[in-house]
Amino acid sequence: MNITEKILATASDKKIVVSGEIVDANVDVLMTHDLTGPLAVEAFKKIGAKKVWDNQKVVVILDHQIPAESIKAAELHKTMRQFAKEQKLRLYDVGRGGVCHQVMPEQGYVTPGAVIVGSDSHTCTYGAFGAFSTGIGSTEAAAVMTTGKIWFKVPQAIKIVVNGQFNKYTTPKDLVLNIIGKLGVDGAIYKSTEFTGPTIHEMSIAGRMTLCNMAVEMGAKNGIIEPDNITKEYLQKRVKTLPDFAALKSDKDAQYAQTVEFDVSQMEPQIACPSSVDNVKPISEVGDVPVDQAFIGSCTNGRIEDLRLAAQILKGKKVKDGVRALIIPASQEVYKQALIEGLTEIFTDAGAVVCGAACGPCLGGHIGLLAAGETCISTSNRNFIGRMGSTQANVYLASPAVVAASAVTGKITDPTILEEKQ
Amino acid sequence: MESKINAPAIKFGNNIDTDVILPGKYLILVDPYELGKHALESLDTEFVNKAKGGVILVGGKNFGCGSSREQAPIALKYAGVKCVIAETFARIFYRNAINIGLPVIECSGVSDAVKTGDDIAVDLEIGKIQNLSDDKVLQGTILPLFVMEILTDGGLIENLRKRLEKK
């Protein structure tokens, strides 16, 4: 079996599962947030359930419209606070958490081998720690709250083998954009994507999270990476008990629907051009694209490693006149670390605005929306029509290094070229 | 919910994402009819008027990709969509649609066989899709029995209530 099959077999009390089989899996953790949670609460009440199946396993994180940007959002937050109080759930309120997919592993809710579902499509991020995790809807979240179980069709798997060393300004974001560009936005539909190979074994947790986070952008059910010492190092100070994950590896004879290989050593920074995540080009082929806004943040690229990279480029420079640069740390912990390391000062001096930990403009619900005809270069994960505001705005997706360099020059820029010019 | 559906088709292309089905700025709305007023407005400002009397939505590959927002299928349902037929679906949208009682059926070849305005008859139980405008018949995927039951119960809430009562 491959790693995903092993986790689903254990979760459904079976010795073996095969792809295509439908299993009823026990859920280890359910996560919900302020935009999809209220519908789940309503459904939970309609089901007639009185108590969640296990109040230690349901986590509520307010992150999408925080601090409340409207009375309607404030009401939704109130609903979630009341529900968390009634059910005695862990709630990460404004100023206590941040973007759900960053907070979940930081606060110790993610362990290798766990089955984690969340009412957010980027729940697949936790595959970075060797968990099986996937997004579900609100009503399904209510059903999980009630029963602690969920049905899954065991997915076929795609093995993505990555070789080579990254160049100075190419990152896991460039890799995952390159992969999505090659496989397409439905290239992994209904499937599991397993990232492996020497480059992955050496990759930081931050990079692994970026990869698994975007698995859903090629339609994948989950993204997953075998847990190892890097996983252990990150988790041991965060989780109560770290399970023994020695057996959590794909067998040598594991089945894959497809195996694809990538090499990062010659890879240029990659850009996903409007309005599809698979419309990916190497930056040298993107041409002259002026930008109005540069956004660094989100569950894809709002970690301290991302901010360090951006600060390295922005240090001593100014954001180009006419460009708004938004920096949004993915969590309160990342925010504090950025302060301690002096990154916030670098960003502020450059003329960027540093906002509190939240989803920000990524989904076009809150701050930093775009007007018709405007362009944003963003480290987030989607560039769909209307995603970040006006349906006539354009969103380009890139790494934090490219977004920082583009903020300085006012057009989409390769950080290597910016460096050479200095 | 009826397993036989008959309505005119409105056709869209590949990769119709949940941001265009229902933009993020409307996720603070809670009334399903309010959500319905904004269904697919990013692609067609007249969609809501066209869908009012009941329509079958036909999509290409990867219908409903992107965000997990259940408000997307809710908006379609309350705008008047009776069923969505697509070559393939994004998995979260697919489950969400079933869970809120909006029939979805996967059917290879549907985007070539149907054009906007064609009169379509669907029999969910046997996965049969008939284009009444030219009498073409297509075979869609038949849902597993327990999933079909969720749909016939009108969604997961009713289905789970029934199952819990039986226990």
Q: How many domains does chain A have?
A: 2
**Per-residue pLDDT tens digits for B7-53:** 999 999 999 999 999 999 999 999 999 999 999 999 999 999 999 99
Q: How far apart are CA A414 and CA A376, in angstroms?
A: 16
- A78 and A194 assigned to the same domain: yes
CB A74 within 8 A of CB A306: no
- Which residue in B18, B22, B160 has the most chain A C-beta atoms within 10 A of its own C-beta, making it the best mutation to test that interface? B160
Q: Which numeric CATH code is attached to B4-166?
A: 3.20.19.10
CA-based nearest distance B135→chain A, Å = 31
| ipTM for this model | 0.96
Mean pLDDT across the stretch A130-142? 98
Q: Name the pLDDT band for A29 (thresholds 50, 70, 90).
A: very high
CATH number, domain of A386, equals 3.30.499.10
| One domain for residues A251 and A363 | no
Q: Which of A263, A298, A333 is the last residue of a domain?
A: A263
pTM equals: 0.97
Closest alpha carbon to A211 in A25, B103, A327, A202: A202
pLDDT at residue A422, as a whole number:
76
Q: Which residue has the higher pLDDT, A35 or B2?
A: A35
Q: Residue A214 burial by CB count (10 A; 0-12/13-18/19+): exposed, middle or buried?
A: buried
Put simply, the answer to whether B95 touches A136 (Cβ < 8 Å) is yes
Same domain, A35 and A87: yes
Structure tokens that stand for A44 in this block:
């939970």
Tell whether the model's pLDDT for residue A365 goes beyond 90. Answer: no
Residues A340 and A369 in one domain: yes
Domain ranges, residue A288? 270-421
CB B67 within 8 A of CB A363: yes
Kindly report, residue by residue over B63-118, the tens digit of the pLDDT: 999 999 999 999 999 999 999 999 999 999 999 999 999 999 999 999 999 999 99
CA dihedral sign of residues A286, A290, A295, A296: positive
Distance from CA of B132 to the nearest CA of A (A): 30
* Amino acid A350: pLDDT: 98
Q: Which of A121, A191, A221 to mutate to test the interface with B (most CBs of B within 10 A)?
A: A121
Whether A194 and A327 share a structural domain: no
Q: Among A220, A240, A263, give the residue marking a domain's end.
A: A263
Give me the amino acid identity at A179: I
In chain A, residues 188-217 whose CB comes closer than 8 Å to chain B: 189-190
Residues A255, A333 within the same domain? no
Contacts of B34 in chain A (CB under 8 A): none
